[in-house]
Each structure stands twice: as C-alpha cells, then as structure tokens.
Structure 1
Amino acid sequence: METKFTRPLTDLTVQDDGLTIEGYASLFGLPDQGGDIMERGAYAKSLERLATHGDSVKMLWQHDPSEPIGLWEEVREDARGLRVKGRLLPEVARGREAAALIRAGAIDGLSIGYRTVRATKDSQGRRRLHEVELWEVSLVTFPMLREARLAAKGADLALLHEMTAAVAQARARLMG
C-alpha cells in the first residue's frame, strides 16, 4: 500500500533555489526511544485528508512552530515508512543555518509531530500506532526514532553554499 501526498509546485516561481533534502521521517515496525511503534498505514488517512483540503505537512526546525525552514514537496507512505522530500529555503535565516549544519554533518535527524488517533498496546506494553494525524516533519539534532535520517543532494548543497556566500557579501556591502 502506498499513499502519497504531493504538494503542487505551481505556486513557486523559481525551482531548485534551495537545498533539496530527503529521507525517512518514520520507519514502520521499529520502536522509538519512548517505545512507540508506527504501523504500516498509520499515515494514510492523514495524508489523504491533507491532500483533500489542500493543506501541507510543515517543515520545521526542532519542532518549533515559529521556525518553518522550508517546504516538504512530497510526503508519502511506502512499504518501509514515511518518506519525505523537500527543500530548505535560503531566504529564511534558519534555513541557511540548517543547510550549513547538514553540510557539516552536524544535523541529519528527522522527527514527526502528530496526534495519535488510534493505538493499541502489545504484549510488551509498547504502543502500536495504527493511525495518526501528521502535522509536521522537523529537522532535529536528536530524533526520537534513531533511524529517522535524511540525505542531501550534493548539487543542491553547492548551489546553496554559493547563494549563502552571495547573501553574506551583499549584507557586508550594505552594512559597511
């Protein structure tokens, strides 16, 4: 079963102007550090609702709702877990900082923000999440599910590095 939510790109005038990132924000069948286990299909209804209402999963920095740093252009559930693909916005200061931290290898964690809709307890007392309402996927230092990680594309890293340097030079000229 594959459920997919894709954000339309028609409202964007410039593509590939940021850092493209992707990875698994959640993996099925693995306990997180709190003992919760996400089951296959847990995101399906939420992604369907988001698509129906034209809403999107937010990309945040460290789960802070006041710190959006980019756009998730694709959020989909596949056989392995919740796969995300998006881009950091270089026009946002925290987005540039996140890009620098990713480039340096200091940040590579992904974590989800959600509300539990339906869960059961297994024989070991762990929660098995069968349905959740997904709100956001954050870049984080320490993901609750250690295996939830991202990978960045090198070409986009180089482009963002050039853009960040150009912004710094322009700022220096204006301030100096």
Structure 2
Amino acid sequence: MKTNDYGLELKFCAQEAQLRVTGGCKIEGYASLFGLPDQGGDVVQPGAYRKSLEALHSRGGSVKMLWQHDPAQPIGIWDEIREDAVGLYVKGRLLPDVARAREAAALIEAGAIDGLSIGYRTVTAAKDAKGQRLLAELELWEVSLVTFPMLREARVAAKGETPDAGLWRELAQAFDAAAAELAGR
C-alpha cells in the first residue's frame, strides 16, 4: 500500500544543522519550517499543525516515523513533536533492532541522507497573490527520513562528522545550488 492510497500529500523538508543524530539512534530537528516556500510553491503557516497534534494527543495516537514515506517501513519512534515559532520540531529515536533504522543511522552519519519530509492531508489552504498555496491547517500523519527534500533550506546534520563527510556535504550543497539555479531559468 502506498502513501497516496490514503490521499496524503508529502512535504519534504531538510534544515541545515537542524536534524542531529546522537549515539547512533537519537534524532531531533525541524520537519517543517514556517513561512518558506518549497519547490512546489507551498508555504506552511504558523499554527498549521496545532489542531492535528491536539487531536492525536487526546486520542493517544502518534505520528509515525517512516523510511522514505513507506508505510511498510517504520524505523523509529517520535517521542516529541511540537510546533514552535520556527516550525514543526521533532525528537525521537531510531530503533536499533530494526535493520532499516540501523542503515538510516549510518546513512545520516555519513551524510548520504539529509532530509525530512512530512506526510499530511490539507484541511485548510488558500492561494496568495504569487500563486503560492498557503497551508493553514494540516492533518499530520507521518514524518519520514528521506533522500530528496522539497524545502531546500533544510538539511540534516550528523553529530560527529568525519572530514570526508564534510567534503561530501559541501559537494552536495554545491550540487543543490546548481540545481536551484537551473530550476530558476
């Protein structure tokens, strides 16, 4: 079963130095940033997650941590999810008994994976004068670790990077900048 089977939209986000891996299993950072347009022209507004998070909390539900939006591949637990002035903050842990979670930790620490993405349903949205979709209320279902982020301003940072990982990160940033320039033409 695919995420699209549930009518969910996907919003990719990565925030430089925002997602951190500690001890190979604990991660934290921003899964969504307010006020920044993504590559699709969507802008998440402050307060967009409030009702969804309140409803989940009241019924004892949880937002799932998935690998690449695949509902068949949960890789961890989000222990804390909250909205603040910056965006949607998440803190959780990869489960070391899950093979894909161990792979995800290794890929993050090496700099090969550096994105977060949300799976959600739009409850309320409007278009602004620029044609951007302003997302005012979202029903949050999951936050995934992903390869390709939709919101370029966000990147994963692994704690304790090696110099080689830093070199690869610089190359990836240069590639992203070139891709953004080409997309703007």
What's the TM-score, normalizing by structure 2?
A: 0.72
> Counterpart in 2 of 1:125?
131
State the Cα deviation string for residues 66-125 of structure 1 (Å, max 9, x = none). Answer: 000000000010000001010101100100100110111111210000000000000011
* Structure 1 runs, 4 residues or longer, greater than 2 Å off: 147-154
Q: Is the 8 A contact 1:19 1:152 kept in 2?
A: no
Over the residues paired in the alignment, what is the CA RMSD in angstroms? 1.5
Q: State the AA in 2 paired with 1:101.
A: L
Do residues 89 (structure 1) and 86 (structure 2) align? no
1:74 aligns with: 80
**Which one of the candidate residues 131, 135, 141 is aligned to 2:141?**
135
Counterpart check, 1:103 vs 2:109: yes
Q: Which runs of 5+ in 2 are unaligned?
A: 1-21, 161-185
* Counterparts of 1:113 and 1:98, CA distance in 2: 18
Confirm whether residue 60 of structure 1 aligns to residue 88 of structure 2. no
User: Partner of 1:145 in structure 2?
Assistant: 151
Q: How many angstroms apart in 1 are the aligned matches of 2:158 and 2:57? A: 26
Shift of 1:151: 4.0
- Kept after mapping to 1: 8 A contact 2:52/2:138: yes
Q: Which runs of 5+ in 1 are unaligned?
A: 1-15, 155-176
SS of the equivalent of 1:130 reads: strand
| Code of the aligned partner of 1:118 | T
Give the distance between the partners of 2:94 and 2:79, measured in 1 at CA: 11
Alpha-carbon displacement from aligned partner over 1:3-25 (angstroms, at most 9, x marks no partner): xxxxxxxxxxxxx9861111111
Distance 1:153 1:17 in 2: 9
Q: Which whole-Å CA distance do the structure 2 matches of 1:23 and 1:91 have between them?
A: 23
Task: Supply the AA of the counterpart residue of 1:120.
Answer: A
* AA matched with 2:57: A
SS in structure 2 opposite 1:103?
helix
Residue correspondences, number: 139
Amino acid at match of 2:130: Q
